[in-house]
Amino acid sequence: MKKLIIASTSTLHGGEYLEYLLPTLEVFFKDCRSILFIPYARPGGISHDAYTDKVRSAFAQIDKNVSGLHEYDNPNQAIKKAEAIFTGGGNTFLLVTQLYKNQVMETLAETIKNGTPYLGSSAGSNITGLTMQTTNDMPIIYPPSFQTLGMIPFNLNPHYLDADLQSKHMGETRETRIKEFHQFNSVPVLGLREGSWLEVLGDQIILKGDLKARLFRQNHEAEELETGSDLSFLR
């Protein structure tokens, strides 16, 4: 049975890395001693080692050991044997490219489907959807496919921002970008605001956190979903 925490972000404004999620993660990972971290998204271009060290420090607070996927000669075997898996944020184009390059996308999907607990934040959450096409990231590299893990039956837009009517910014809003996506695609998109996450247990998908999420569907008006909502109706 699938078990996932899919978070919009790893860090809230003014907080430490994963700080706001640690109470939830302590319960979520209670049966795991170690977590396999996938550092491929490399936020700001930091090294795999530096990123893994950052994650290791955070999880040490709840007594979990962390190793980086890049440390293994056989990444497929490392994923299959992992007690739990975390994929961090950064650039989704880079993350997806590396997952395909290292031939682990399919293995990761199968491992999660078989019940290995999975945590994603930002880019690591983007890949739990059907495709990565609703990411906010710059296309710094070209992945062989936009198809991702398909652990949830829709796409995500993490870090979702509402339009600021006082702003002088003339670029497109997030809502406009998602409407552009729906000119050519029928996949639903969930705008996940900062500090919110999805908790997946089997076929159940529950919105958690203090904020509502914004659901976009082709040929429908956007709608606000209350925290506690079950999104499994989107299947």
* Three-state secondary structure call for residue 62: helix
Q: What number of other Cβ atoms are within 10 A of residue 169's Cβ?
A: 8
Active-site residue (options: 8, 10, 122, 125): 122
Whole-number Å distance between alpha carbons of 121 and 18: 9
The answer to whether 167 and 132 have CB atoms below 8 angstroms apart is no
Q: Chain-centre distance of CA 103, in angstroms?
A: 19
The answer to whether 26 and 60 have CB atoms below 8 angstroms apart is no
Q: Which two tokens stand for residue 153?
A: 């039956």
CATH of 3-234, one of 3.30.230.70, 3.40.50.1220, 3.40.50.880, 3.90.120.10: 3.40.50.880
Give the per-residue pLDDT at 122.
97
Active-site residue (options: 8, 121, 125, 137): 137
Structural domain spans, the chain: 3-234
Active-site residue (options: 34, 48, 159, 229): 159
137 included as an active-site residue: yes
pLDDT tens digits in sequence order for the chain, 235 residues long: 999 999 999 999 889 999 999 999 999 999 999 999 999 999 999 999 999 999 999 999 999 999 999 999 999 999 999 999 999 999 999 999 999 999 999 999 999 999 999 999 999 999 999 999 999 999 999 999 999 999 999 999 999 998 766 666 656 789 999 999 999 999 999 999 999 999 999 999 999 999 999 999 999 999 999 999 999 999 8
**CA quadruple 19, 22, 25, 30: dihedral positive or negative?**
positive
